[in-house]
Structure 1
């Protein structure tokens, strides 16, 4: 079992955290921007809390034929998935007063854009939190000097030509009888599983096989995420944010 080659690069310097996440021909620019502009319903919440949200968009030229500009139902569904996944990264009460918006812009699409967005935005969010720590905008519990945060990673999977496969490109995705997206945290707990029988149902044994493949694939992605963060966070923020299980 192998996944597509994953690369993570620094990109936009304007955002608090930013990466270009690539799974071969699928490339997503992920940024995380910090502000103190909280949703109104959080303003008087006790204990004080922060918030994390996401936006997802595909550039018109990211696919062929050209995709019309603007948010559609699919984009709305995907950005909600990304937002839920990112909020699972951190105890929101540990980032009081902070609002973090993660933007995922697909610049080239070849399948797996939502899972690439989650994995990339997770890294961008970590960079943003590291910057907030370095700038004194975010403090940790004195007794632990740790922030309750962990990476999330995601992968697509499915059944193609009767075989369970992982990390589907567009060709495989278009032929899949079963399509599944999996999101996992560093403790190897599932954050979200979305599975659909596109052309046929699937058995419990097939689901178990798919999840085993996802486990292995996500571990490879997680190592790339951690290696990147080891090299791009300050020593202090890395010590506070990163945990290798």
Structure 2
């Protein structure tokens, strides 16, 4: 009986040890100062020091502003895996402290990882960052500063196309559009623009005020040198077809 008890205890001990173990190099990361508009990204790396594969079932962020990603395939004993945490700083100035919770079949089934930092506005960045850090900033360059739609009908939503080039050394992320008329928006959300690359950005214009209009638009981004400015112009009429008919009816027709 004693031998049977000892064998059962040994089997239980072996089973308990026959698990994957997630050994992280660190379970927290401080980004320090983050320019507003940046997607702050950090990879938490771990090694499976156990005897069985580690399978990550889920990674849950503490808020919608943090997007997790992770190694989807089983991590074999002795191999490395990654948990990636991405914090969107756009429109979120100030201190942040967020967590991602990793659920797996490892010996520690629930593991909490932490990211933190301080998001700085453009006004705060200029005196804070070093010249070397400023040199690494993306740089937004517009192909033109003005777009004239000409004559358009009230209620239409024409599209203005601008070419945006990133002449900086890190990816350019375009942010919110602001205009006093609240009548300008992106046709499609712009994707990050790689250093040295250009992209066409389409802006929808839904101005309804009749007559000649001119609206100043600001495009925010993670370019620390400042926001981009452009102007949209148009002559807005109530009815383009009606306007044409009135013009034609005023033309003198000679008698035969």
What TM-score results when the alignment is normalised by the length of structure 2? 0.23
Larger % of helix: which? 1
Structure with bigger gyration radius: 2
What TM-score results when the alignment is normalised by the length of structure 1? 0.24
Select the structure with the greater relative contact order (CA < 8 A; seq sep ≥ 6): 1
